[in-house]
Amino acid sequence: MTVSRELYQQIILDHNKNPRNYGRLEDPTRKIEGYNPLCGDHFTIFVKLKDNRITEITFEGAGCAISKASASVMSSAVKGKTVEEAEELFKKFHQLVRGELDPKESTETLGKLVAFSGVSEYPARVKCAILPWHTLHTALTSEEHRTTTE
Ligand code: ZN
Protein backbone atom coordinates (compact mmCIF):
# COMPACT_ATOMS: atom_id res chain seq x y z
CA MET A 1 0.00 0.00 0.00
CA THR A 2 1.42 3.35 -0.98
CA VAL A 3 1.48 6.31 1.37
CA SER A 4 -0.93 8.25 -0.80
CA ARG A 5 -3.46 5.43 -0.84
CA GLU A 6 -3.30 5.11 2.93
CA LEU A 7 -3.75 8.84 3.36
CA TYR A 8 -6.59 8.75 0.86
CA GLN A 9 -8.47 6.12 2.85
CA GLN A 10 -7.90 7.87 6.17
CA ILE A 11 -9.17 11.20 4.90
CA ILE A 12 -12.18 9.71 3.13
CA LEU A 13 -13.16 7.78 6.24
CA ASP A 14 -12.62 10.71 8.57
CA HIS A 15 -14.49 13.30 6.50
CA ASN A 16 -17.26 10.88 5.67
CA LYS A 17 -17.85 10.16 9.34
CA ASN A 18 -17.44 13.77 10.50
CA PRO A 19 -18.13 16.03 7.54
CA ARG A 20 -16.90 19.60 8.11
CA ASN A 21 -19.18 22.55 7.39
CA TYR A 22 -22.18 20.30 6.95
CA GLY A 23 -25.59 21.97 7.06
CA ARG A 24 -27.50 24.85 5.64
CA LEU A 25 -26.41 28.48 5.61
CA GLU A 26 -28.79 31.34 6.38
CA ASP A 27 -28.81 34.08 3.71
CA PRO A 28 -26.21 32.60 1.38
CA THR A 29 -24.91 34.78 -1.46
CA ARG A 30 -25.07 31.71 -3.68
CA LYS A 31 -26.86 28.44 -3.28
CA ILE A 32 -26.38 25.78 -5.88
CA GLU A 33 -27.32 22.17 -6.37
CA GLY A 34 -24.90 19.69 -7.88
CA TYR A 35 -25.86 16.31 -9.21
CA ASN A 36 -23.79 13.41 -10.48
CA PRO A 37 -26.20 11.12 -12.35
CA LEU A 38 -23.60 8.38 -12.74
CA CYS A 39 -23.44 7.71 -9.02
CA GLY A 40 -26.47 9.54 -7.65
CA ASP A 41 -24.45 12.04 -5.60
CA HIS A 42 -26.58 15.09 -4.91
CA PHE A 43 -25.42 18.08 -2.88
CA THR A 44 -26.41 21.67 -2.31
CA ILE A 45 -23.59 24.10 -1.65
CA PHE A 46 -24.15 27.36 0.22
CA VAL A 47 -21.63 30.15 -0.18
CA LYS A 48 -21.37 33.52 1.47
CA LEU A 49 -19.18 36.01 -0.38
CA LYS A 50 -17.84 39.24 0.96
CA ASP A 51 -15.41 41.51 -0.93
CA ASN A 52 -14.73 38.70 -3.39
CA ARG A 53 -13.84 36.32 -0.56
CA ILE A 54 -15.56 33.10 0.54
CA THR A 55 -16.35 33.91 4.15
CA GLU A 56 -18.68 30.96 4.72
CA ILE A 57 -19.30 27.73 2.90
CA THR A 58 -21.46 24.79 3.86
CA PHE A 59 -23.04 21.87 2.07
CA GLU A 60 -25.79 19.36 2.56
CA GLY A 61 -27.11 16.39 0.69
CA ALA A 62 -26.17 12.80 0.14
CA GLY A 63 -23.78 10.79 -1.92
CA CYS A 64 -21.08 8.16 -1.83
CA ALA A 65 -18.18 8.37 0.60
CA ILE A 66 -15.88 10.00 -1.93
CA SER A 67 -18.22 12.79 -2.96
CA LYS A 68 -19.12 13.56 0.64
CA ALA A 69 -15.51 13.55 1.81
CA SER A 70 -14.55 15.69 -1.17
CA ALA A 71 -17.25 18.27 -0.33
CA SER A 72 -16.07 18.32 3.27
CA VAL A 73 -12.36 18.72 2.48
CA MET A 74 -13.17 21.30 -0.20
CA SER A 75 -15.26 23.42 2.15
CA SER A 76 -12.38 23.56 4.64
CA ALA A 77 -9.87 24.27 1.89
CA VAL A 78 -11.64 27.22 0.27
CA LYS A 79 -13.09 28.91 3.33
CA GLY A 80 -11.44 32.32 3.67
CA LYS A 81 -10.01 32.18 0.16
CA THR A 82 -10.72 34.68 -2.60
CA VAL A 83 -12.78 33.59 -5.59
CA GLU A 84 -9.61 33.54 -7.72
CA GLU A 85 -7.72 31.41 -5.19
CA ALA A 86 -10.64 28.96 -5.02
CA GLU A 87 -10.77 28.76 -8.81
CA GLU A 88 -7.03 28.10 -8.91
CA LEU A 89 -7.46 25.26 -6.40
CA PHE A 90 -10.32 23.85 -8.47
CA LYS A 91 -8.02 23.76 -11.52
CA LYS A 92 -5.26 22.02 -9.55
CA PHE A 93 -7.69 19.55 -8.00
CA HIS A 94 -9.08 18.70 -11.42
CA GLN A 95 -5.58 17.94 -12.71
CA LEU A 96 -4.80 15.94 -9.58
CA VAL A 97 -7.78 13.58 -9.79
CA ARG A 98 -7.07 13.05 -13.47
CA GLY A 99 -3.52 12.03 -12.63
CA GLU A 100 -2.09 15.03 -14.46
CA LEU A 101 -0.41 16.52 -11.42
CA ASP A 102 2.35 15.01 -9.32
CA PRO A 103 0.98 14.95 -5.75
CA LYS A 104 4.50 15.19 -4.33
CA GLU A 105 5.05 18.46 -6.17
CA SER A 106 1.79 19.97 -4.98
CA THR A 107 1.53 19.11 -1.28
CA GLU A 108 2.14 22.69 -0.26
CA THR A 109 -0.60 24.21 -2.39
CA LEU A 110 -3.10 21.40 -2.00
CA GLY A 111 -2.73 20.32 1.63
CA LYS A 112 -5.21 17.57 2.47
CA LEU A 113 -6.62 17.67 -1.04
CA VAL A 114 -3.55 15.71 -2.10
CA ALA A 115 -5.20 12.63 -0.59
CA PHE A 116 -7.62 12.61 -3.53
CA SER A 117 -4.80 11.82 -5.94
CA GLY A 118 -5.79 8.21 -5.14
CA VAL A 119 -9.02 8.79 -7.09
CA SER A 120 -7.08 8.92 -10.36
CA GLU A 121 -6.70 5.14 -10.05
CA TYR A 122 -10.48 4.75 -10.22
CA PRO A 123 -11.79 6.61 -13.29
CA ALA A 124 -15.42 5.99 -12.36
CA ARG A 125 -14.88 7.86 -9.08
CA VAL A 126 -13.35 10.98 -10.60
CA LYS A 127 -16.79 12.53 -11.14
CA CYS A 128 -17.70 11.85 -7.51
CA ALA A 129 -14.61 13.66 -6.28
CA ILE A 130 -15.01 16.55 -8.71
CA LEU A 131 -18.75 17.12 -8.18
CA PRO A 132 -18.49 19.46 -5.16
CA TRP A 133 -15.76 21.46 -6.92
CA HIS A 134 -17.72 21.63 -10.11
CA THR A 135 -20.70 22.88 -8.12
CA LEU A 136 -18.61 25.49 -6.32
CA HIS A 137 -17.12 26.61 -9.63
CA THR A 138 -20.61 27.14 -11.05
CA ALA A 139 -21.64 28.98 -7.88
CA LEU A 140 -18.69 31.34 -8.20
CA THR A 141 -18.84 31.97 -11.92
CA SER A 142 -22.47 31.93 -12.99
CA GLU A 143 -26.02 32.65 -11.97
CA GLU A 144 -27.09 29.02 -12.42
CA HIS A 145 -28.82 27.26 -9.57
CA ARG A 146 -28.19 23.75 -10.67
CA THR A 147 -25.31 21.88 -12.25
CA THR A 148 -24.35 18.34 -13.14
CA THR A 149 -21.11 16.57 -13.87
CA GLU A 150 -22.32 15.85 -17.41
ZN1 ZN B 1 -20.30 9.09 -6.01
Confidence grade of residue 136 (pLDDT, cut at 50, 70, 90): very high
Segment 32-76, tens digit of pLDDT: 999 999 999 999 999 999 999 999 999 999 999 999 999 999 999
Looking at residue 2, its pLDDT comes to 56
Looking at residue 1, its pLDDT comes to 43
Residue 68: is it exposed, middle or buried by C-beta count within 10 angstroms (0-12/13-18/19+)? buried
For the cut 90, the answer to whether the pLDDT of residue 87 exceeds it is yes
Compare 114 and 131 and report the one with higher pLDDT.
Answer: 131
Question: Which among 11, 122, 118, 138 is positioned nearest to 69, based on CA atoms?
Answer: 11
C-alpha of residue 116 to centroid of ligand 1, in Å: 13
Looking at residue 66, its pLDDT comes to 94
First CA to last CA across the chain, in angstroms? 32
C-alpha of residue 50 to centroid of ligand 1, in Å: 31
Mean pLDDT computed over 84-111 = 90
Alpha helices (H) in the chain, listed in sequence order: 3-17, 65-78, 83-97, 103-110, 126-141
C-alpha of residue 122 to centroid of ligand 1, in Å: 12
Looking at residue 91, its pLDDT comes to 95
Q: Count Cα atoms within 13 angstroms, Cβ side, for 73.
A: 28
Write down the mean pLDDT value for the chain.
91
C-alpha of residue 52 to centroid of ligand 1, in Å: 30
C-alpha of residue 87 to centroid of ligand 1, in Å: 22
Report the predicted TM-score, pTM, of the whole model to 2 decimal places: 0.92
Confidence grade of residue 3 (pLDDT, cut at 50, 70, 90): low
C-alpha of residue 55 to centroid of ligand 1, in Å: 27
